[in-house]
């Protein structure tokens, strides 16, 4: 039987098993720019950085998908991609 893990509590912050706390290093000027942005948007650093990471990763996934489609087009374009149609035509002509 699977039992869910209880949330971890650290001070007044609760972390569920699906959320990790990480420590990163940023230049002071970059952190100041992030803080100014999140303050103006009434957001949090974590939410801001999470959004950036999600957008970057989904953009990269889309780029890879487009590249795979391009490579498949190249691979099937002039290298027998129409083989099934040619065989069908040949069968029907008999």
Q: Contact 42/32 with Cβ under 8 angstroms?
A: no
> How many domains in the chain?
1
In a domain, 59, yes or no: yes
**pLDDT tens per residue across all 94 residues of the chain:** 555 566 666 565 666 677 788 899 999 999 999 999 999 999 999 999 999 999 988 888 888 888 888 888 777 766 555 777 788 888 888 8
Q: Please report the pLDDT score of residue 81 as a whole number.
A: 59
In a domain, 20, yes or no: no
| DSSP3 helix / strand / coil % (the chain, rounded to 5) | 60, 5, 35
Residue 47 token pair:
């939410």
In a domain, 25, yes or no: no
Residue 57 token pair:
């990763």
Q: Please report the pLDDT score of residue 84 as a whole number.
A: 75
In a domain, 58, yes or no: yes
In a domain, 9, yes or no: no
In a domain, 27, yes or no: no
User: Which structural domain, as residue segments, surrounds residue 70?
Assistant: 45-76
In a domain, 1, yes or no: no
In a domain, 68, yes or no: yes
């Amino acid at each position: 039987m699977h039992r869910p893990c209880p949330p971890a509590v650290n001070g007044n912050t609760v972390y569920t098993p699906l959320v990790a706390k990480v420590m990163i290093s940023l230049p002071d000027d970059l952190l100041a720019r992030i803080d100014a942005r999140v303050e103006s948007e009434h957001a949090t650093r974590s939410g801001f950085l999470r959004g950036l990471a999600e957008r970057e990763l989904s953009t990269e996934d889309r780029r890879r998908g487009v590249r795979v489609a391009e490579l498949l087009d190249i691979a099937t374009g002039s290298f027998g991609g129409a083989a099934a149609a040619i065989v069908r035509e040949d069968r029907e002509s008999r």
